[in-house]
Structure 1
């Protein structure tokens, strides 16, 4: 479920674009795909075809259990929906700056699916961080609140 991913929310629609030069609200373009998953099945994987042998490229059939993959597929979907509206270079920019980059990371044998094989999902091992010493990363929200009170 998308709710399980918290920060990796993939189904929240983009905000309204605002107002046009005439002061009237701009109409939000209709989305072609309603979810990142639909985009993956209907657009991305049918067009981004690669040999996935496990040696030079890896994929997990249960990709949705990998938070990084969910976030990257959502980014690919949202950028595609935006750039498809640019009739000049939108799709070229999408391929170059988004698809090739994110799919290269996703399919990389050392990428998020490193622990999976072609037919079976295996839970990834999460990186375990150690907390930095107190004061190394002051909370910017607290600093901004203090600055706004002093002005």
Structure 2
């Protein structure tokens, strides 16, 4: 079976079916994915986000950890911010407004909040500990990848 990225099915109504690349992003066959401005979430954070998102992170109202990359939630949120920024920068009229209002503001509010992922790092980094969990009984959450009825 060919990978999703290699699929070239034709739409009976004209055009091509969308294909997904290695990141799951879909676009019509033959349409190139735009080149990113930044090569990684870290580069985006250092060169774009932090220089223009200035806040007093005093440990009382807001907390930031210089070792943000040691916090899985922060990595995921900053990566999502970067990818959203890369996509929305291409929308000339309202792209950046949408990015700030719907992505940056709520994400940074969570990241910097005193009960956010850096809650334990006021002053210096302290390793995050995942919340305790127990596995649900077998069969409660069947593996959808194994569903053959599709």
2:36 — aligned with what? 31
1:89 to 91, 94, 106: 94
Matched residue pairs, number? Answer: 129
1:109 matched to 2:119: no
CA-to-partner distance for each residue in 1:83-123, whole Å, 9 max, x for gaps? 000001100000001000110110011000011123x2110
1:54 — aligned with what? 59
The TM-score normalised by the length of structure 2 is 0.79
**Residues 133, 46 of structure 1: CA spacing in aligned structure 2 closer, same or farther, 3 A cutoff?**
same
Unpaired runs of at least 5, structure 1: 1-11, 20-24
Structure 1 residue 139 displacement after superposition: 2.0
Higher relative contact order, chain-length normalized (CA < 8 Å, sep 6+)? 1
Report the 3-state secondary structure (helix = DSSP H, G, I; strand = E; otherwise coil) of the residue aligned with 2:138.
coil
Structure 1 residue 27 displacement after superposition: 2.7
Report the 3-state secondary structure (helix = DSSP H, G, I; strand = E; otherwise coil) of the residue aligned with 1:17.
strand
1:126 — aligned with what? 130
1:17 matched to 2:27: yes
Unpaired runs of at least 5, structure 2: 1-21
